[in-house]
Each structure stands twice: as C-alpha cells, then as structure tokens.
Amino acid sequence: MREIAVVAFGQTDHRRTSDEFSEVEMLMPVLHDVLDRTGMKTSDIGFTCSGSTDYLAGRAFSFTMALDGVGAWPPISESHVEMDGAWALYEAWTKLLTGDADTALVYSYGKSSPGSVRDVLTRQLDPYYVAPLWPDSVALAALQAQALIDAGEADEPALAGVAARSREDARANSHAQLRGSVPQGEYLVRPLRTGDCPPIGDGAAAVILAAGERARELCERPAWIRGIDHRIEAHGLGVRDLTDSPSTRLAAEKAGAFERPVDTAELHAPFTSQEVVLRKALRLDGDVAVNPSGGALAANPIMAAGLIRIGEAAARIHRGESDRALAHATSGPCLQQNLVSVLEGDAR
Amino acid sequence: MPEVLKAPLVVEFPFTRSLGPVQSAFLTGLRERVVLGVKTGDGRTLVPPVEYDPVTSEEIRDLVEVAPTGTVTTWAWNHAPRRGQPLDTPFAWVLVRLDGADTSLLHALDATGPDAVHTGMRVRIRWAEERSGAITDIACFEPYDSVETPEPAGHDGRFEDMVTGIVAPARLDYTYSPGRAQSGYINALSDRRIVGERCPSCRKVYVPPRGACPTCGVATVEEVEVGPGGTVTTYCIVNIKAKNLDIEVPYVYGHIALDGADLALHGRIGGIPYDQVRMGLRVEPVWTDGGRYPDHYRPTGEPDADYETYKELV
C-alpha cells in the first residue's frame, strides 16, 4: 500500500463572528498558508477535497463559491463532502491510494455565526420521529451526560475538570477561541453548564497530503497516516448505549490504534462528557497527552473541528513533539459517527 | 474598508415526506392513541419502530402494541425552551422506555422542575388534543404515580385511513452578511455605481466581485469602477411569466459585459422590442427611484460593438 502523509496544516483564528468576510475570504489565507509551507502552487495539487454544509450559514452552494479560493479554473480534479473535513481527508487519502494523484489539498470551513447553530443541527436528525421536536444539540449532549452520571462514570466536577484542562492547554494555541480561565457558568441544559459546551464560532482549516517520496520532499518530518477508518451507529438515540462508543472503538481497531500505544490523542469531543466516552472507547490512560491543542472545547468551527484534530496531531509530529498520535473526528448527535486515524513520524 | 452589510434571512420550507409501512402504522397509531413497536429477529421490541433492524439490517414488519406508560432512562432539564420544541414552559428532555419496549423514545416531560425528575421515574403519555398522525400527537410525557401498568389491547397496526405521509415545516433564521467584496459592490450600487475587483495576478476585473480570482486562487482587492456602458454578449427571450414579477412577457434577459469588466453580468434588456435585441448591442443601466440595483439596461444608440471586442466574454 502507498505511504501517505500529512505534510502541512493550517487554520484560521477561530472567532465568534466573521461578518466582514465571506466564506471564501475567510478560507483563502489558510489555503495560501498550507501551500506556502510546502512551496506548492494551486496548480501543483493533484486532487482537492472539501467539507462544509450550506445549512450553517444558510447559503446555497456556498462550497462552489469557496472553490474560487483554490483557483478551480481551468477545471481541477475536485470533490466535496457535506461532512466534517476529516471525511474529506478520508476521501483524499483513498484517492492518493489509487495512485491517481500524489498530492491532495483538503480544506473545510464553517461559519456558525449567521445562524443559530443549536437549531441548525436539529435538521440532521431523523425527520419523522425526532426533528419535529427540535431537540437542539446541547439537549442531546445533555441526555448523554446524564446517562454517564447515572452510570457512575462521571460527575459534574469531573466534567468541569475536562473543561478547565482543555482551556488551560489552549493558552498555548493562538488560534483557539476560548483560552485560559473560563467559568463553568450556569446550566445551559442540565447537567451541562456553559463551560461544558464548545464555543460557537467561525473558522477554517486546510491540510496537504502527499504520497511516498513526494511527502519527504515537501516536509522534513511527514506525519504518516498508518491507518484511518470510520464507523457509524444507529440513528435512533434510544437504540444506542449513550455511555459507550462502539463505533469509535471499532474504527480505532481497524486503524490499528491498539497495536501500540500512542503518545498524543486529539479527540473531537465538543462536550466535556464526550471526552469521557471517547477515553473509555479508545482505552487512553494518563500517559497520553489528550487534546494538547485545547480540543473542540477551545475552538469548534463546525465542519472543520474534526479536520483540525488530524491537523493538530500531524503538526505535533512535524514539530517532533509526538512520534505516534491518534486523531479522532465525530459527526451526528451524541458521537453517532466516528473517524479514527493513527499518524506516525519517522524514527528520529 | 466599506461598511459591512447585514440583513435578516429566513429559510423556510415545508418538507413533505412519505412514510414506510412501519412508520405509517406507528404514526397512524399515535393519532388513535395506540403506541406500536416493531419486533426484531432476536425478539426485541423497538419503540419508536423502524423499517429495518438497526443491527442486522433485516426488513422488520411485525408490529406489537406497547403501553402508554414507561420509565425514564435518561433526562436533561431544559429551562429555556426554544422555538418548535414540544412545550413552551421549562421541561425535561427524556428518553423513555415504554412498558413492553426494549428501546427508548425521545420526547419532552412536563415536570415542575429538575428536582422532580430522575432516571427510573415512571411517566405516561399526555396525548395532544388534536392529532394528525405525527410524533407531536404525543404532546409530552407527564409523571405517572400509579403502580398499575395499563395492559395494551394487542392492536395489530391496521387502521382505517392510514397516514401515508407527513408535512414537516422547517424554518431557520440567519443574519446574512455578504463579506468584504460583495459589501463593496452593494455599497457602490446605492451610489448608482457598479464596481468590480481586479486580480493582482492575471489582472482580470470580476463583476460582481466575490473576493477571489477563480483562475489564480488569490484575493482580489483593487476596486475598479466599470461601465456604465456595456455590450450584450448573449441573451434569451423569456416567454413564461414569473410569479410575483410585474414584467410583461416576452422580455429579454441578457449577459452584459460592462466596459472595463472581464466577466459579463446579467440583467433584463428593455427599451427596445424583444425581437430586435442582438449580440453586440450597446446598452446602459436604467436606475429607478428607490431601486437598489439597475432596473434594466437600455440601448445607448451607439453602433454595435464588433464581435472581436467581446468574444472572450461570451
């Protein structure tokens, strides 16, 4: 199988609003950033794949406008997923495996500020039995958190600890939206307090993938994708055990995450309670640095936050701060769908 | 930097959805105050019922009635109900395992406060007064103190006048902001000027500007005023009257390359019989009082442009 690596990662500063920019205006500096890091031009890229959703900002076909930012004319080899950019990366990885391309540009962006994201996300739910009740994203996460508390696997102080650690770690991440000391606040939907929930904001991220020797030319220490897999669970919330994440566990197994310990894990857990579920599913112990970037609790640009986990894990390998890292992305309510990738750097 | 514009934007749509046989029986049952589950191959009863087994993907059709009473399996207190949610006073979101079911149903629980709710508490359905065959026929759940469990009547899921579809209205509210380049364009329109932006790399001028050059993939920043004169590069004759549009058909809609622009924009062409519009026709915008963009373009009377001058823009 072809060896494929993340060779560059870039992201915007994530902010509550970005009124002054259209999506392509927000995205373009990040695209240029990753191209500059590799010394490539847009015309050097073999395949381009993006992830976004029109529902967030209420703009039909916004991804076609965003394509202006990659210089899509004359026509390029391109694809888009209405999912987090982590899944766009999965498609690009597959494309590179086929040998059709040697390099891929993957990007994703989300502007949550124009709409009410708690309501927007209800539109992804079962349209017959669930969506007509408009259960918002925080409410569904709160049901999961209460199930964990009832099972004795978490309590409010433990959840507050996850929140505090994440934002403390985010002090070192200049792109993060919430950094340092953030009050746990009042209940938003009990048992979740504002501090247990991710900030709402706008942002974008981009990654460049390259295969084999091309990766070594473009990056001093490529972050090799040793395995990547994604799995989904039933859409019916009442069918699932909300205190566990069998899809994460299976994806991790298929990605080879359990073959050897990782030193770093970037988990896409927008709610504190979801980190508890993921740590259990991924069997992460105290030796693993979990979300040194601050994770989604520090910045959660929807549709990009999962890709950012892969990018952050890869960037640590690029910098020599990690040798083997796990990156996770999620989609759907209460960790319904999960992607796990394992990245490694060459021996130093 | 020009003023950043904002405007409310409501996206609203009634989704008409057809139902499969299991969903149809379940929602018709709710209309008749009967709750149905579906049996899986391994003997579990799923409520709400689905068309396919979530584990084996086997088609499942074996309906079974369950009780309108049940047990809370998890809950969350919602002190600030949002639009469209089942109750407009503070309530608990609950997953309820109805008596006779093996899985849980999401709904709202009407309770006095979070202290009155706990996992394991007994609840029962409060039916909506008007029911149509929808999940909202369950108004909500309410606490149920009796130890008695009503025995389901063993309904087989066949009803008169089965519900075969639902109409689910959806509405999302946004505050639209067009970004830097398009704000500049719209602000200029209010002064009856049309501006584009020039690509620093290939020097093309894009009108309306979108902030990026789609060929070079770089930001366009230099604002350039174009027009007011322009050339019709292509056109079509519209024969179907659009709803709410006060324009007599047939009329002409065209692509117009404004002088100085490297991209044609589109607009209605008036002030000339529809069958006399032609490629190369020289036109200019007509502004109306209170209009925020040109109402239409009309002939300037100049000689037609030579094809060579606009062929790259067709």
Q: Is B1's pLDDT higher than 80?
A: no
Q: Is B3's pLDDT higher than 80?
A: no
In B, which residues are within 8 Å of A122 by CB distance?
84
B206 and B129 both lie in a single domain: no
Domain total for chain B?
Answer: 3
Q: Which residue has the tokens 């770690």?
A: A169
Q: Is B212's pLDDT higher than 80?
A: yes
Per the CB < 8 Å rule, is B174 touching A57?
yes
User: Which residues have CB under 8 Å from B156's CB, separation 6+?
Assistant: B63
Among A53, A62, A64, A68, the residue to mutate for chain B (most B Cβ within 10 A): A68
- Domain assignment of residue B144, given as a range: 12-171
Q: What percent of chain B has pLDDT over 70?
A: 99
In A, which residues are within 8 Å of B4 by CB distance?
19-20
Sheet holding B205-206, edge to edge: B205-206, B194-198, B222-226
Q: Is B267's pLDDT higher than 70?
A: yes
Rounded Cα distance, B76 and B53, in Å: 28
As separate numbers, helices (DSSP H) first and strands (DSSP E) second, chain A gives 11, 12
Q: How many C-beta neighbours within 10 Å does residue A172 have?
A: 11
Of B48, B172, B177, the CB nearest to A19: B177
E runs forming strands in A98-137: 103-111
Q: Which residue of A has its CA nearest to B164?
A: A128
Q: Which residue of B has its CA nearest to A129?
A: B135
Per the CB < 8 Å rule, is B210 touching A234?
no
In A, which residues are within 8 Å of B214 by CB distance?
67-68, 71-73
Express each pLDDT in A116-162 by its tens digit: 999 999 999 999 999 999 999 999 999 999 999 999 999 999 999 99
B6 in a domain, yes or no?
Answer: no
Per the CB < 8 Å rule, is B217 touching A142?
no
Farthest-apart Cα atoms in chain A, separation = 58
B158 and B28 both lie in a single domain: yes
Question: Which of A95-99, B4-8, B309-313 is most confident?
Answer: A95-99
Rounded Cα distance, B229 and B166, in Å: 53
Q: For chain B, what is the HEC assignment?
A: CCCCCCEEEEEEEEEEEECCHHHHHHHHHHHCCCEEEEECCCCCEECCCCCECCCCCCECCCEEEECCEEEEEEEEEECCCCCCCCCCCCEEEEEEEECCCCCCEEEEECCCCHHHCCCCCEEEEEECCCCCCCHHHEEEEEECCCCCCCCCCCCCCCCCCCCCEEEEEEEEEEEECCHHHHHHHHHHHCCCCEEEEECCCCCCEECCCCCECCCCCCECCEEEEECCCEEEEEEEEECCCCCCCCCCCCEEEEEEEECCCCCCEEEEECCCCHHHCCCCCEEEEECCCCCCCCCEEEECCCCCCCHHHHHHHC
B98 and B111 both lie in a single domain: yes
B3 in a domain, yes or no?
Answer: no
Residue A148, judged by CB atoms within 10 A of its CB (0-12, 13-18, 19+), counts as buried
Rounded Cα distance, A43 and B215, in Å: 10
Higher per-residue pLDDT: B192 or B149 = B192
Last residue of a domain, one of B155, B171, B187: B171
Of A68, A120, A129, the CB nearest to B135: A129
Distances (CA, A) of A113 to A69, A243, A330, B12, B101: 21, 31, 21, 19, 41
B7 in a domain, yes or no?
Answer: no
Per the CB < 8 Å rule, is A190 touching B214?
no
Residue type (1 letter), A322: S
Tell me what pLDDT residue A301 has: 98
Per the CB < 8 Å rule, is B74 touching A65?
no
Distance of CA A137 to the CA centre of its chain: 17
**Does domain A117-197+223-344 match CATH 3.40.47.10?**
yes
Nearest to A1 by CA among A104, A96, A67: A96
Of 3.90.1410.10, 3.40.50.1820, 3.40.30.10, 3.40.47.10, the CATH number of A4-115+199-218 is 3.40.47.10
Tell me what pLDDT residue B35 has: 98
B250 in a domain, yes or no?
Answer: yes
CA dihedral of residues A40, A42, A47, A52 (deg, nearest 10): 120
B2 in a domain, yes or no?
Answer: no
End-to-end CA distance of chain B: 33
| Res. B148 pLDDT band, cuts 50 70 90 | confident
Express each pLDDT in A281-292 by its tens digit: 999 998 999 999
| Res. B279 pLDDT band, cuts 50 70 90 | very high
In A, which residues are within 8 Å of B15 by CB distance?
127
Q: Is A11's pLDDT higher than 90?
A: yes
Per the CB < 8 Å rule, is A118 touching B74?
no
| Res. B2 pLDDT band, cuts 50 70 90 | low
Rg of chain A, C-alpha, whole Å: 19
Strands A324-331 and A264-266: parallel
Asked if B214 and A65 touch (Cβ cutoff 8 Å), the reply is: no
Q: Give me the helix-helix angle, A246-254 and A272-282, nearest 10°.
A: 50
Q: Which residue of A has its CA nearest to B90?
A: A189
B105 and B89 both lie in a single domain: yes
Per the CB < 8 Å rule, is A114 touching B135?
no
Of B79, B106, B179, the CB nearest to A187: B79
- Global pTM reads 0.95
Rounded Cα distance, A110 and B250, in Å: 42
Per the CB < 8 Å rule, is B172 touching A127?
no
Instruction: Determine the distance in angstroms separating the CA of B254 from the nearest CA of chain A, rounded to an integer.
Output: 22
Work out the average pLDDT over A56-80.
89
Per the CB < 8 Å rule, is A133 touching B166?
no
B4 in a domain, yes or no?
Answer: no
Per the CB < 8 Å rule, is B135 touching A130?
yes
Instruction: Determine the distance in angstroms separating the CA of B158 from the nearest CA of chain A, rounded to an integer.
Output: 20
Structure tokens at A307: 């890709």
B150 and B58 both lie in a single domain: yes
| Alpha helices (runs of H) in chain A, residue ranges in sequence order | 23-38, 54-57, 62-66, 85-98, 117-120, 137-150, 156-169, 212-218, 246-254, 272-282, 305-318
Half-sphere exposure at residue B35, Cβ-oriented, CA atoms within 13 angstroms: 27
Express each pLDDT in A250-259 by its tens digit: 999 999 999 9
Last residue of a domain, one of B133, B155, B171: B171
C-alpha angle A50-A339-A169 in degrees, rounded to nearest 5: 90
Structure tokens at A214: 């091309």
Instruction: Give B253's strand partners.
Output: B236, B268
Q: Is A208 helix (H, G, I), strand (E, B) or coil?
A: strand
Chain A, chain B: beta-carbon pairs less than 8 Å apart: 189
Q: Which residue of A has its CA nearest to B19?
A: A128
Per the CB < 8 Å rule, is B211 touching A145?
no
Rounded Cα distance, A292 and A325, in Å: 11
| ipTM here | 0.95
Asked if A204 and A105 touch (Cβ cutoff 8 Å), the reply is: no
Q: What percent of chain A has pLDDT over 70?
A: 100
Tell me what pLDDT residue B99 has: 97
Instruction: Determine the distance in angstroms separating the CA of B216 from the nearest CA of chain A, rounded to an integer.
Output: 5
Tell me what pLDDT residue A340 has: 98
B106 and B214 both lie in a single domain: no
Express each pLDDT in B68-80 by its tens digit: 999 999 999 999 9
Among B28, B46, B57, B78, the residue to mutate for chain A (most A Cβ within 10 A): B78
Work out the average pLDDT over B76-87.
97
Distance of CA A210 to the CA centre of its chain: 20
